[in-house]
Structure 1
Amino acid sequence: MAGTAVTLAVIASITAWILSHNGYLPGDAVVRTWAAAKDRPADGRPSGTWVVGDVAVRSRFDAVTGFGIADGQNGKKLWEYVPPGRSQICGSARHADASVLLVAYGEEGGGASEPAPQGKGCATVLALDVKDGRQLWTAQRTVTTGRLGQGARFLDTGRDLALVAHDHRDALGARTKDEHTSLRALDLRTGKPRWTAALPDRCGPQQVSVGKEQVFAVLECGGADRVSPGSSDGPELMTAAFNRETGALNWNVPVDARRPVRLGSTVAIESTDPLVLSDTGRYTPFGQDGRPRPGIEFSGGRGRTGEPDYPQTAITGERMYALEGFWEKGQRHRLVAFDLTTGEEVWKVTLDDPAAALTARGDRITVLGEWSTQSSKITDLLEYDADNGEELDDRRFRDAVPGAGTLYEHDGQLIIAGTGGDHTFTAYERW
C-alpha cells in the first residue's frame, strides 16, 4: 500500500506539472479571451499600434483601423480610414493622446528609389478621433520632396497639443538651401495654430516629441550639406527643448557632449519625462535644464540574424528597464533596471528562457518569454517587482500567441499586437 501511495503521488505530481506547464491549472495560466481579425501580410513598411481608452488602433500604409476592446466588443472592427486616391499613409504620430491620432499621407514615387512628386511626400497631416475614426481636421506640411515609408517622426501629440515639423528636403533627403524649416503647434482637437517655435539659427527639426512640461526636438544643425559619418567637421545633430505654451527656446545642446553626432545617425527620442535619447545602443538622459546625465551603453550582442541585438527598453519615472540579450547555447536575455539619474545598474535578473517583449506598468514589469533558446514561440508570462526585481508571477499561455508584437495592458487584460499576417490584436487574461 505504501508503494502504491508513492506511485500515485509521483503520477499526481507529474500530471500537475504537465497541466501547470501547459496552462491548465488556475493561478498558473493565461487564457485567450478574444482575437481581432487577421492582419494582411507585412510588406516591410512602417506600421504602428496604440491602445487608447477602449480602442486599439493599427496604422498601416494603406489604412488606419480601430478595434473595440471594451467588455463585449471582443476586438470588433469599429472604423477604418483609407487615404484618398493614390496616396499612402507614410506614418503616424508616436503617441495617440486625448483620443486623437495624427497621421500623415502623401503620394508615392514611381519606384522604390524614386522620391515622391514635388511637394507631395507626407504633405498632409490628418487628425482622427480614435473613438469613432471621425476626421477632425487636416493641415498641410511644407515639403519639397520626400520618400514614403520612413515613418512620421515629424509628428507628435500630448494632452491638447499637436506638434508638426515642416522641412524642405531634396531627392537625397538633405535639407534644401533655402533652409525653409519650422516647428508648429496646433490645437489637438481643432487644428487651430497655437505657436511657431523659435528654432536656433541654421537648424531644422528631424524628430519631435511632446513632454508634460516641455516640447523636445532632435535638430539637424549647421547647414544644408551632408557629410559622411565620422567626418571631423560639418553639420551635426542637436537636441532642443521649447516652452510648451509659447514655443520659446529653452535650451539647445549637442546630442552627445563628447563627440559630434552626424546627420544620418540613428538617434531616437525614447522618453520625454525625463528626456532620454538613444543612439545605436547608447542611452543618454537629460535633466530639465538640458544637462546630460551619465549615459547607459550596451554593446549589442549578436541576435538570431547575426546582426547587433540592442535591447528592448521601457522607461517609467527615473528608471529604465532593458531586455539585454546575450548568447549562451542560443539566444538568452537578462532583465536589467537602471537609475536614470546616475546611470547605475539597480538590479539584474537572468531569465531562464529568451524574452520577446516587455512593458512597465505601475510597480510591475511584465515580460513575454519564449519556449527555448531555439524557438521563438511565446509561452510564458513573467512579472517582476519594478523596485527590486523579485519575481512576482510565472504563468503559461494555454493558447498560441502571435509573434513578438507590442504588449499592452487594459482593464486586467493583456493585449498583444500581432505582426503582419497574425491577428491584429489578441487579448488574454490571467486564470
Structure 2
Amino acid sequence: MQPTVVTPTAAIRPGRFRAWQVAVVLVLAALAGAAILLQIRGWSAVEGESGSACASGSAVCPRGVVPVLVISFVVGLAAIPFVIAAVVRRPKVNAGVAAVGLVAGVIAAQALSGGLHAAELRVAWTAPYDAAGSPATEGVWTAGSSLIRVRADQVVSYQAATGRQQWTLAVPGGDVACAVSAGASSATVGFIGYGTAGGACDQLLAVDLGTGQQLWSKRVPASWKGDQGAGFVAVGGDTAAAVTAGAVLGYDLRTGAPRWTTLTPPGCSDQTLAGAQQSVVVLAACGRTFDVIDLDPASGKQLWRTPVPGQAPGYHFAILSADPVVVVDVSPGQPEQVLAFGATGHLTSTIPVGDLDTNYYQGFGPQIAVSDGLLIGVTRPGPSGGGHADVVAYRLSDGGRQWLLSMPDDVLSLRQDGGQLLVIDQSRPSLALDAISLPTGSLHPIGYIPASIVNPSGASVYSAGGRYVVVNLSGRPPVPPAAAIGG
C-alpha cells in the first residue's frame, strides 16, 4: 500500500478556513450586540427626553438619535440572523465566539450611546435656605461671574462658580423692595424701588453690584402701592429712571444727582417704563389710547412719540423690549397683540399672539426674549390643559413666524443666554435643561436637573461664572433659593 502524502499547503487550508469563519462570526456578533444596545438606548432617549414629539427630522429629537436608530436597525437586521445560523450550525465553536462578540459590541456601543442622552447634571452648590416666612424673590441680576438675588427684604450676591456669599445688603429702614430694574451681564449698578409693606413704592436705591455698597437712596412722589414689578424703575445707559405720580425722573446712576424731569403728557397717566443703552421707553395711558414714548437717557428729551389708538376700557400694556421697542397690547374683547416699532417710532409690525404667554411672573418677568430681529416666547397650554407647550419665534420685521419648536414637555422657564435660549422643561422622570438656537429653533438637551433644587411653582435659570444657576421664587425648604448645576 502506498502511503498518502499530505503537503503542508493542504494541511493548513482547513485551519485557515475555520479561522476566517470564526472572525466573521465574531464581527457579526459584535455588530449585533451594538445594534441591540443602540436600539434600546435610542428608544429610551426618544421616550425619556422627547415624549411623543420626536419624529424623523424633528429638532426636538435627542441629538443624533434618528440616524443611529436607522443604522443600528439595518445592521442588526442583517447581522442577527447570520449569527443565529452560525451558532446552530457549529454550536461548540461559534456559541462562545458569538458570546464574546456580543459583549464586545455592547461595550463599544456604551460609549456611542452616551451622546444620545442628556446627562444628569450634578449640583455644584446650594445657597442656604431662607427662613420660614421670608419673602419671595423680587428680581435677579447677573454681573460678570456673580449672581445677585433680590429678595423683598435684602439683596444677596453669590459667586456663581463656588456659591460663596460675597455680600448682603438689607433694604433700608426695614422696608421692602417693590420694583427691580432688569438685569444684564454688563450691569454694574442695580436699581430698586422700595417702600413700606403694602404702602407706596416711593423710594429709590442704587446698589454697586461689585461691592454691595449702597450708592444712594432718595424718596420720590409716587402714588402706586404694592409690588410694581419691573415697570417702576429702569436703567438706560448711565441713567436711573423712575416713574412718579406725574413725571419720569432721571438720575445719575452712580451718584443719584438729578439729571432731568419729563412730565407725563397732558391727559395721560399710569406710566410704565423700560431702559436700554440708548433709550428709556415710556408707555402712558391716555384715555382710550396709549402712547409709546422714547426718551434720550442722557437728557430726557423726547426722541419720538407714537399713539396706539382704539383701546377698549380696561386695556393694559407692557414693554417687552426697549431696544428694539416692542410692547404687548391687551384689550378686552380683542386678540392680544405685540407691536414692534422702528428707530423713528413707526410701527413695523403687528403680531397676533393670542396663544403666547406674555404674563409677568414675579421675580423673573415674562417668558419672552427679543433678540436678532425675533420675538420668542412660550405658547400657553390648550384650553383643556393638555398637550405640551411650544416655543415659537416671530419676525419683528413683518410679524411672520420664523420657527416653531414642539417641546418635550411643558416649559417652566425660558431665559435668553447670548445666541441661545435656556429652557427648563418638565420632562419625565425629572426636569430637563435644554438649549434652543435663536436663529433656527433647534433644540439641544443639556441635562437633567435634580428635582430637589427646583421649585415647580416658580424658578428660572441663569448663566454666570461658567455655571447654570437655578433661582427659585421661594427659597424656603425643601428647595434652596439658588443652586448651581454642571456636567
Please name the residue that 1:241 is paired with.
294
Please name the residue that 2:395 is paired with.
339
| Corresponding residue to 1:322 among 364, 372, 377 | 377
Q: How does 1:59-74 map to 2 (within 5 A)?
A: 59-69=150-160, 71=161, 74=162
Please name the residue that 1:349 is paired with.
405
CA-to-aligned-CA distance 1:158-211 (integer Å, 9 cap, x gap)? 3311112221xxxxxxxxxxxxx1212111111111222254323346211122
> Could you say what the CA RMSD is over the residues aligned between the two structures, in angstroms?
3.4
Rg comparison, structure with higher value: 2
Please name the residue that 1:105 is paired with.
194
Give % identity.
24
| Residue pair 1:368, 1:378 contacting (<8 A) in 2 also | no
Please name the residue that 2:459 is paired with.
405
What is the CA distance between 1:301 and its match in structure 2? 8.1
Please name the residue that 1:294 is paired with.
349
Unaligned runs of 5+ in 1: 110-115, 168-180, 222-233, 303-310
Shift in alpha-carbon separation, 1:398–1:390, aligned structure 2, 3 A: closer
Please name the residue that 1:171 is paired with.
none
1:195 aligns with 2:260: yes
Separation of aligned partners in 2, 1:366 and 1:12: 28
1:124 aligns with 2:196: no
Separation of aligned partners in 1, 2:432 and 2:394: 24
Separation of aligned partners in 2, 1:300 and 1:428: 32
What is the CA distance between 1:247 and its match in structure 2? 1.3
Shift in alpha-carbon separation, 1:268–1:198, aligned structure 2, 3 A: same
Letter in 1 for 2:389: H
TM-score (norm 1): 0.76
| Corresponding residue to 2:229 among 139, 151, 155 | 151
Separation of aligned partners in 2, 1:416 and 1:220: 36
| Residue pair 1:89, 1:104 contacting (<8 A) in 2 also | yes
Separation of aligned partners in 2, 1:360 and 1:166: 30
Separation of aligned partners in 1, 2:189 and 2:462: 18
What is the CA distance between 1:316 and its match in structure 2? 0.8
Separation of aligned partners in 2, 1:45 and 1:414: 21
| Corresponding residue to 1:162 among 218, 221, 240 | 240
Letter in 2 for 1:128: V
Shift in alpha-carbon separation, 1:266–1:423, aligned structure 2, 3 A: farther
| Residue pair 1:182, 1:205 contacting (<8 A) in 2 also | no
Letter in 2 for 1:394: P
Equivalent position SS for 2:380 = strand
What is the CA distance between 1:329 and its match in structure 2? 8.1
What is the CA distance between 1:156 and its match in structure 2? 0.6
Equivalent position SS for 2:459 = coil
| Residue pair 1:301, 1:326 contacting (<8 A) in 2 also | no
Moved more, 344-353 or 199-208: 199-208
Please name the residue that 2:88 is paired with.
none
Please name the residue that 1:272 is paired with.
322
Separation of aligned partners in 2, 1:31 and 1:235: 53
| Corresponding residue to 1:216 among 278, 281, 288 | 281
Please name the residue that 2:176 is paired with.
88
1:34 aligns with 2:125: yes
Letter in 2 for 1:320: L
Letter in 2 for 1:315: V
Separation of aligned partners in 1, 2:405 and 2:273: 34
TM-score (norm 2): 0.68
Equivalent position SS for 1:197 = strand
Separation of aligned partners in 1, 2:210 and 2:484: 19
Shift in alpha-carbon separation, 1:13–1:41, aligned structure 2, 3 A: farther
Moved more, 284-293 or 5-14: 5-14
Letter in 1 for 2:437: D
Separation of aligned partners in 1, 2:202 and 2:44: 56
Equivalent position SS for 1:371 = coil
Shift in alpha-carbon separation, 1:86–1:417, aligned structure 2, 3 A: closer
1:260 aligns with 2:311: yes
Comparing both structures, which one devotes a greater share of its residues to strand? 1
Please name the residue that 2:249 is paired with.
184
Shift in alpha-carbon separation, 1:11–1:350, aligned structure 2, 3 A: closer
Comparing both structures, which one devotes a greater share of its residues to helix? 2
Separation of aligned partners in 2, 1:146 and 1:206: 11
Separation of aligned partners in 2, 1:239 and 1:19: 48
Unaligned runs of 5+ in 2: 1-24, 50-61, 63-112, 331-335, 358-365
Shift in alpha-carbon separation, 1:354–1:243, aligned structure 2, 3 A: same
Shift in alpha-carbon separation, 1:347–1:423, aligned structure 2, 3 A: same
Separation of aligned partners in 2, 1:138 and 1:213: 24
What is the CA distance between 1:136 and its match in structure 2? 0.5
CA-to-aligned-CA distance 1:385-405 (integer Å, 9 cap, x gap)? 3222233x2243163351351
Equivalent position SS for 2:244 = strand
Separation of aligned partners in 2, 1:152 and 1:199: 19
Please name the residue that 1:305 is paired with.
none
Equivalent position SS for 1:406 = strand
Shift in alpha-carbon separation, 1:8–1:39, aligned structure 2, 3 A: same
| Residue pair 2:236, 2:278 contacting (<8 A) in 1 also | no
Equivalent position SS for 1:98 = coil
What is the CA distance between 1:269 and its match in structure 2? 0.7
What is the CA distance between 1:382 and its match in structure 2? 2.6
Equivalent position SS for 1:293 = strand
| Residue pair 1:100, 1:189 contacting (<8 A) in 2 also | yes
CA-to-aligned-CA distance 1:395-425 (integer Å, 9 cap, x gap)? 4316335135122122442222123133222
Please name the residue that 2:420 is paired with.
364
